């Protein structure tokens, strides 16, 4: 997304204007001059989509494993439903992550800090989604290729950083030495 926003600022608006003057015809005079920029834009779009899906798959895999670390019989269906069902995915994921945190048996005195972290993460995630899904179509993006700006990038970056903090917190609790089973029996 960073590369797309940078491309948009550096070359995208000018490229969009050039494509408009050609009427979108790839055989129009001057079309060959923009082939490199269009190719770069296409590669950046593919990279953004691929990395987004890869990050989502990695996160969902981690979440399923984190739930199973708390209780081996936890099915993966609720994780997929929480994130993929429209409407439900506005509330269920944050509740599911909180359930995993509580199931990891964290220190009691950390609940307030955890709620602040998970709440900030979820609000930043919803803000990023709203900026892309609601604001972007309403924005007058004449002359833009993507319509993405530093605002959407900033919201997505904050959401990603806070998400990483939630993953780290849960993983830290689940892998704490007090939680791990002993490999050798204790000496009385």
Q: Which two tokens stand for residue 85?
A: 């069902």
For each of the chain's 188 residues, which pLDDT tens digit applies?
899 888 888 888 788 778 777 776 777 777 778 888 888 988 999 999 999 999 999 999 999 999 999 999 888 898 999 999 999 999 999 999 999 999 999 988 899 999 999 999 999 999 999 988 887 677 665 556 777 888 889 999 999 999 999 999 999 999 987 655 544 454 55
Number of domains in the chain: 1
Q: Is residue 118 part of a domain?
A: yes
- Judge whether 184 lies within some domain: no
70: in domain: yes
State whether the Cα torsion 17-20-24-30 is positive or negative: negative
Residues of the domain holding 152: 52-174
Q: Burial of 152 by CB count in 10 Å (0-12 exposed, 13-18 middle, 19+ buried)? A: buried
């Amino acid at each position: 997304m960073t590369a797309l926003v940078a491309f948009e600022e550096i070359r995208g608006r000018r490229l969009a204007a050039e494509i408009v003057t050609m009427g979108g015809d790839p055989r129009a005079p001057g079309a060959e001059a923009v082939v490199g920029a269009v190719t770069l834009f296409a590669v950046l779009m593919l990279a953004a989509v691929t990395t987004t899906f890869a990050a989502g798959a990695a996160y969902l895999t981690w979440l399923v494993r984190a739930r199973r670390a708390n209780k081996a019989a936890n099915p993966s269906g609720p994780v997929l439903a929480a994130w993929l069902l429209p409407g439900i995915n506005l509330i269920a994921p944050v509740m599911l992550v909180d359930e995993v945190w509580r199931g990891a048996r964290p220190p009691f005195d950390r609940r307030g800090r955890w709620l602040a972290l998970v709440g900030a993460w979820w609000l930043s995630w919803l803000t990023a989604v709203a900026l892309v899904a609601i604001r972007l179509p309403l924005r007058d993006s004449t002359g833009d290729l993507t319509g993405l700006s530093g605002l959407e990038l900033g919201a997505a970056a904050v959401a990603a950083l806070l998400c990483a903090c939630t993953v780290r917190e849960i993983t830290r609790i689940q892998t704490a030495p007090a939680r791990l089973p002993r490999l050798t029996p204790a000496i009385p």
